[in-house]
Amino acid sequence: MRSHPDNAAYATRDLAVVWHPCTQMKDHEHLPPVPIRRGMGVWLEDFEGRRYLDAISSWWVNLFGHANPRISAAVAGQAARLEHVLLAGFTHEPVIELSEELVALAPQGLTRCFYADNGSSAVEAALKMSFHYWRNVGRSRKCRFVTLTNSYHGETLGALAVGDVPLYRSVYAPLLMDVITVTSPDCFVREP
Ligand SMILES: Cc1ncc(COP(=O)(O)O)c(C=O)c1O
């Protein structure tokens, strides 16, 4: 079997300092993580020049290919002009433009955008907004959520609470809010 010293060296350095998400780290004693040097379109490439077709179709799907030239140029251009300013008390052109385009696409009545920095945070924000809406209309006792079996919404405590994957959830059950779980209409796993 061909050896891959560069890959192996990166895997060793990684395992000395990194905990990987949703991973039992003991598994990596037998199956090291794959060190990726770069991506191009649908391909990932390791440090030995081996290419992998990126067919990850669940988490963090890359819709437009790796190192998409147009997206990279837009990100670089934006970073050179203004990389960040908080939205509390400030605004900027990209957030206004994006929000205008999203509102134009959204169903009638959905007229504002609120931003979070990842999926879990977005779920947390949605849970809080929903609770806050009912509080604003005088129903502050309305504070339980209905969730679907087999659902996954992220790893933060609120997102975990409204999800239903025992592998991720069970250890943290004492920390999670009480939800009402109903059967998912998902046709993939249900009985015929
Ligand atoms: C359906 C779904 N919701 C929420 C999340 C959480 O997103 P993030 O990992 O950006 O927090 C994920 C992540 O894989 C997801 O698949």
Q: What is the pLDDT of residue 4?
A: 56
Q: Which residues pair with 44 in a beta bridge?
A: 39, 52
- Among protein residues, the one with the nearest Cα to ligand 1's atom 7 is 119
Question: Residue 151: CB within 6 Å of ligand 1?
Answer: no
Residues of the chain with pLDDT under 50: 1
Question: Residue 163: CB within 6 Å of ligand 1?
Answer: no
Q: What is the pLDDT of residue 192?
A: 65
Alpha carbon of residue 102 to chain centroid? 19
Question: Residue 124: CB within 6 Å of ligand 1?
Answer: no
Q: What is the pLDDT of residue 96?
A: 98
- Among protein residues, the one with the nearest Cα to ligand 1's atom 3 is 153
Question: Residue 65: CB within 6 Å of ligand 1?
Answer: no
For the chain, the structural domain boundaries read: 5-53, 116-182
Q: What is the pLDDT of residue 58?
A: 65
Q: Helix or strand or coil: residue 43? A: strand
- Radius of gyration over alpha carbons of the chain, in Å? 22
Question: Residue 158: CB within 6 Å of ligand 1?
Answer: no
Q: What percent of the chain stands above pLDDT 70?
A: 94
Residues in contact with 10: Cβ distance below 8 Å, sequence separation at least 6, in sequence order: 35, 47
Q: Considering the entire predicted model, what is its pTM?
A: 0.84
Torsion of CA 157, 114, 147, 169, to 10 degrees: -20
- Among protein residues, the one with the nearest Cα to ligand 1's atom 16 is 59
